Amino acid sequence: MDGVTQDHDAGGSARARHVAIIMDGNGRWAAKRGLPREAGHRAGIEALRRVVRGAPDLGVEMLTVYAFSTENWRRPAEEVSALMRLLVEFLESETPELAAQGVALATIGDLSVLPQESQAALRRALASTAGGGRLLLTLALNYGGRAEIVRAAKKLVRMVQAGDVSLDDVDEAVFARLLDTHAMPDPDLLVRASGEERLSNFLLWQSAYTELWVTETLWPDFGMEHLQQALRAYAGRDRRYGSHS
Ligand code: FPP
């Protein structure tokens, strides 16, 4: 699939096939209840489970979720290790159910610096869900849009130096194929929980024409009613991709 040209039918379809989510607000959810931040992340995983279960019935074919950003390493060490532990727990407990639901797992981001245990759990989960054809669930892990673009630029320079591609042939499609998201179309809709109206370094290249929908709801409180609301709002949008009306 071509990440650049896909979905560029002006006036586009009313159905969001690919939805990206910034699962924000776990910490505030926990603080409001006097709980540790880890409890917020656990509740965030429950919200993710609900959305993964329900999304295919709403016509969603791909979900890409921001699980751990390149900036999240700056959090206190205990919170980083809790998130890594929760990731492994999630993968180990959820993989059989995901496989049964026809969910294929994928990742974007630089996994090489994740703990070995997380990398091994990811390899197992990806292998055992590889056949899933109902939903592609992509976890963004140690992901940052700028870091991804820099990695792609480095690959491109190496390819040009090796003579595998000529500089004159480099265009947006060639570049997009070097991004972590090369195998999927750009997101149609980006949902952000907890009210902030920014991309926070998520899918910077891919979101050029993505419709944005922000809810005040904190991620752990997010449910199918919110996804339905987002998809209804999306269906009413007029996607022009920079062309005239
Ligand atoms: C933001 O909440 C959320 C994250 C840092 C990551 C999202 C992680 C999860 C939903 C759980 C882990 C996911 C998997 C798949 C294991 P925040 O802590 O920034 O909330 P705040 O802005 O209220 O402090």
The 10s digit of each residue's pLDDT in 195-244 is 999 999 999 999 999 999 999 999 999 999 999 999 999 999 988 888 87
**Is 220 touching ligand 1 by the criterion CB < 6 Å?**
no
- Paired with 65 in beta bridges are 21, 139
The residue contributing the CA closest to ligand 1 atom 16 is 87
Ligand 1 pocket test, pick from 21, 22, 23 with the greatest ligand atom count within 8 Å of Cβ, gives: 23
Query: Closest Cα to residue 204, out of 227, 183, 177, 176?
Result: 176
180 as an active site residue: the answer is: no
CB 95 within 8 A of CB 129: yes
Catalytic pick among 2, 7, 9, 24: 24
Q: Is the pLDDT of residue 71 over 60?
A: yes
**Is 28 touching ligand 1 by the criterion CB < 6 Å?**
yes
Q: Is the pLDDT of residue 12 over 60?
A: no
Quick one: tokens of 151? 């990695």
Nearest-angstrom CA–CA distance, 189 and 208 = 11
- Report domain extents, the chain: 7-145+186-234
| SS3 at position 205 | coil
Quick one: tokens of 20? 């990206």
Check residues 239 and 141 and name the one with the higher pLDDT.
141
Give all strands of the β-sheet with 189-192 in edge-to-edge order. Answer: 103-108, 135-143, 62-69, 18-22, 189-192, 211-214
pTM higher than the cut 0.75: yes
The pLDDT value recorded for residue 177 is 98
The residue contributing the CA closest to ligand 1 atom 1 is 24
Nearest-angstrom CA–CA distance, 24 and 36 = 16
DSSP tag of 138: E
DSSP 3-55: TTTTT--TT--SS-SEEEEE---HHHHHHHTT--HHHHHHHHHHHHHHHHHHG
The pLDDT value recorded for residue 8 is 38
- What are 86-119's pLDDT values in tens digits? 999 999 999 999 999 999 999 999 999 999 999 9
DSSP tag of 186: P
Ligand 1 pocket test, pick from 21, 22, 23, 26 with the greatest ligand atom count within 8 Å of Cβ, gives: 26
Output b/e per residue, 197-229; b: 16+ Cβ within 10 A: eebebbbebbbeebbbbbbebbbbbbeeebbee
Region of residue 100 (phi > 0: left; psi between -120 and 50: alpha; otherwise: beta): alpha
Q: Is the pLDDT of residue 54 over 60?
A: yes
The pLDDT value recorded for residue 13 is 61
**Is 109 touching ligand 1 by the criterion CB < 6 Å?**
no
Instruction: Indicate the helix (H) or strand (E) that contains 142.
Output: strand 135-143
What CATH code would you report for 7-145+186-234? Answer: 3.40.1180.10
The pLDDT value recorded for residue 108 is 98
**Is 72 touching ligand 1 by the criterion CB < 6 Å?**
yes
CB 66 within 8 A of CB 19: no
Mean pLDDT across the chain, nearest whole number? 94
Say if residue 139 is exposed, middle or buried (CB neighbours under 10 Å; 0-12, 13-18, 19+). buried
Question: What letter represents residue 135's amino acid?
Answer: L
The pLDDT value recorded for residue 7 is 41
- Paired with 66 in beta bridges are 22, 140
24 as an active site residue: the answer is: yes
The CA-atom distances, in angstroms, between 7 and each of 181, 183, 233 are 15, 14, 18
The pLDDT value recorded for residue 241 is 87
- Percentage of the chain exceeding pLDDT 90: 91
Task: Give the mean pLDDT of 58-82.
Answer: 97
